[in-house]
Structure 1
Amino acid sequence: MPPLVPIEIRSVFVLGSTSFIAKALCRELARRGCHRFHLVARNDEANQQLANELQQRYGAAVSTEQTDLLADAGSQSGPRSEVGEFDLYLITAGSLGDAELACMDAAEALRITSANYVGLIPWLTAITIPERLARSGRLWVFSSVAADRGRPSNYHYGAAKAALTTFCEGLLLRCHGKPFAVRIIKAGFMATPMTVGKLPPVLCASPDSVARDLLRRLNRRGIEYLPWWWLPLMWLVRLLPAPIASML
């Protein structure tokens, strides 16, 4: 069976590589012929487990790097290493944090903001240098449907994702007419151990299905919702009057 990924996608840089969606995408890319990965995450042990799997199961060349987005947020010099040259830059880093604690503790609120937005800026800045934007390449950034409207249950997370979306939309427009493509994914709920028993299964897509959806439209750029039905659903959510929205 021939590789399903075009030959130009032969290397991938992943920030947030221990997330469920990152692991699903890495496995699917490796299965379809991608052979070089650089995995960046906070949990070095879990990151190495994924690296070993990609090496042993698919024969991929894999390097790993440990980072702390809270430290990156306070850094004046950017990431601790160069991002290097890759065909695809995948950003899936983020954390829900403790939403209840963040309502009372400014430190937790800042941690959520750093993990989902501020800590990503040094990496995104290092990726989107003018020389790279002038060449063919891809940047896929995972935001969230939580960015579309503030909710009383997790508004710190939603605000951080909204800031990330706006930042990346600027990058998207900056790349208009250039060969470098920016793709912003507003993902809905994922079927992971964190959501089992907490959310209706019908609203939770599997990371594997989301990965396959992304790779079906490999050259797409712009903002998109995954699964697709989150687009009309969030359109309705934005129209809800405040008394109803306050119950979300």
Structure 2
Amino acid sequence: MTALLRSAWVLGSTSTVAIAICRGLAERGCRRFHLLARNPERNQALASELRDRFGAEVSCEAIDLLAPQPAQPQLNEPFDLYLVAAGSLGDAERARNDAAEAQAITQANFTGLIPWLTAIVSPERIQQPGALWVFSSVAADRGRPSNYHYGAAKAGLLRFCEGLLLRCHGTPFAVRILKAGFIASPMTDGKAPPILCARPEQIARDLLRHPRRRGIETIPWWWTPLMALVRRLPARLAAKL
């Protein structure tokens, strides 16, 4: 089934999970990639790996979701898979008193993605076979005093993409929303217990087993019962999270 994904467009391509998914796709026959990221050096490094190891055709685009005047989305060719893995924890402590940092977190994780998602889920595109995978977060499930700006942004993204999912119901275009728990990466290093951090490679393997799945899912699966417990915590305990 994964062999059907012959091309991939990836926003946030230098994130550890996006890199793992790109490698997994290339191993399964994907031979066309368009990589969008803020860091051009890291993006070119991934592009070179995909070209050299797998013979893929790769193009790169520098995108900064926090730019004062963000680039206007240009999607000039169709892709089998659109993967949106961009996001940033930001500085949660600073955001409590700095409106600019609070807005930056919201833009990096939600509002800055809306133009791209709107361009992807066009009336023409959703009438053709294809897939959109969007990474949200389990942080969207409940507000926490330690990172409520990030959680609120991911909750906004989740609800926005749920609307896209329902809009695409009955079409050949599959929307897949991924509520991710902690994934081992520089973003979570020192900020999450290692025992709760899933390996990006395992996440990629799990997702690629069912590449045409649509709906909302929690990854890894064991975050589902964990977050069910968190949602039920009384306020006096939730305030300590």
For Structure 1 versus Structure 2, the TM-score category normalised by the shorter chain is over 0.9
Q: Aligned partner of 1:23: which letter?
A: I
Q: Is the 8 A contact 2:178 2:217 kept in 1?
A: yes
| Consecutive unaligned residues in structure 2, runs of 5 or more | none
TM-score by length of 2: 0.96
Alignment of 1:42-191 (within 5 A): 42-71=38-67, 75=70, 78-79=72-73, 81-82=74-75, 84-191=77-184
- What is the Cα deviation at residue 32 of structure 1? 1.1
CA distance in 2, matches of 1:83, 1:18: 22
Letter in 1 for 2:8: V
Given the two structures, how large is their TM-score scaled by the length of structure 1?
0.94
1:242 aligns to what? Answer: 235
**CA distance change for structure 1 residues 242 and 143 in 2, over 3 Å: closer, same or farther?**
same
Aligned amino acid, residue 215 of structure 2: G
Conserved? CA contact 2:88–2:109, under 8 Å: yes
What is the CA deviation profile of residues 85-139 of structure 1, one whole-angstrom value per residue up to 9, with x for unaligned ones?
A: 1000000000000000000000000000000001000100000000101111000
Deviation at 1:83, TM superposition (A): 5.2
For the structure 1 residues 83 and 157, does the alpha-carbon distance in structure 2 shift closer, same or farther, using more than 3 Å as the test?
farther
Partner Cα distance (1:84, 1:241) in 2: 50
- The more displaced of 205-214 and 191-200 is 191-200
CA deviations 1:131-164 (Å, max 9, x no partner) are 1011110000000000100110000000000000
How far apart in 1 are the matches of 2:63 and 2:115?
A: 12
Q: State the Cα distance separating 1:191 from its structure 2 match.
A: 1.6
Q: SS where residue 95 of structure 1 aligns?
A: coil
Structure 1 residue 194: deviation in Å? 4.0
1:155-211, Cα deviation, whole Å (9 max, x unpaired)? 000000000000000000001111100000001001224434543222110000000
Where 2:159 maps in the other structure, the secondary structure is helix
Q: Answer yes or no: is the 8 Å Cα contact 1:94–1:115 preserved in 2.
A: yes
Mapped contact 2:7–2:30 kept (Cα < 8 A): yes
- How big is the shift at 1:70? 1.8
Which residue identity does 2:202 align to in structure 1? S
Amino acid across the alignment from 1:70 = L
Secondary structure of the residue aligned to 1:130 is coil
Query: For the residues of structure 2 that align with 1:124 and 1:178, how far apart are their CA atoms?
Result: 17
Q: Report the CA distance between 1:217 and its aligned residue.
A: 1.5
Runs of 4+ in 1 over 6 A off after TM superposition: none
User: How many corresponding residue pairs?
Assistant: 241
